[in-house]
Amino acid sequence: MKKIAILASGNGSNAEEIMKYFQGSQKGKVILIGSNKKEAFVLERARKFGIDSFIFNKTEMEDGGVTKRLQENKVDFVVLAGFLLKIPDNLLHAYPNQIINIHPALLPKYGGKGMYGTKVHEAVKASGDKQTGITIHLVNENYDEGKIIFQAAVSISPEDDSEAIAKKVHQLEYKYFPNVIESLL
């Protein structure tokens, strides 16, 4: 059974869906949640599921402290679920092709540094696009540029505001992200 760690910076709704999904799985188990924000609600979600969690800062991420923690826990696979820090080379080298991210748009559109959450949905709305979606991709040294593993799209209407777009995207995330993770284990 593969050991999964989730890194998240915020609310953790995707992390919760992943924790739920893998509770009865024979392929993988979420064993660790890490966050760079001590007030992130994802930490409360981890407690609810009885999953160990830890808080770290940017320096600990860059100097290998996070990588060491993951390795000490024998983590096999790393999932970014609303994680906002850039992944440093030490972590990329320790987990080659074993770190994935979910992005709330159809990359390569609306990706890159600073494009996350509501900012993405507002950009989609402003563009007049008729669809948006999710992209699950491998993580590399650049924001949102790793190999695309999976995409799913949803139609949006001119009446949809960024909040309505976000709801549609969240439904895709909850439906597909845990399944794609399992398929990669």
Q: What distance in Å separates the CA atoms of residue 89 and residue 91, rounded to the nearest whole number?
A: 5
pLDDT tens per residue, range 30-83: 999 999 999 999 999 999 999 999 999 999 999 999 999 999 999 999 999 999
Task: Tell me, yes or no, if 103 is annotated catalytic.
Answer: yes
Can you tell me which residue has the tokens 């999932």?
79
For residue 123, count other CB atoms closer than 10 A to its CB: 16
pLDDT at 115 over 90: yes
Fold classification of 2-184 is: Rossmann fold (3.40.50)
User: What pLDDT does residue 24 have?
Assistant: 87
Can you tell me which residue has the tokens 């990706």?
111
**Beta strand 52-55 pairing with 99-103:** unpaired
* Catalytic entry in 103, 121, 137, 170: 103
* DSSP E strand stretches across the chain: 2-7, 28-35, 52-55, 77-80, 99-103, 131-138, 148-155
Q: Give the residue-averaged pLDDT of 113-123.
A: 94
pTM: 0.96
Q: Are 137 and 171 in contact (CB under 8 A)?
A: no
pLDDT tens per residue, range 162-181: 999 999 999 999 999 999 99
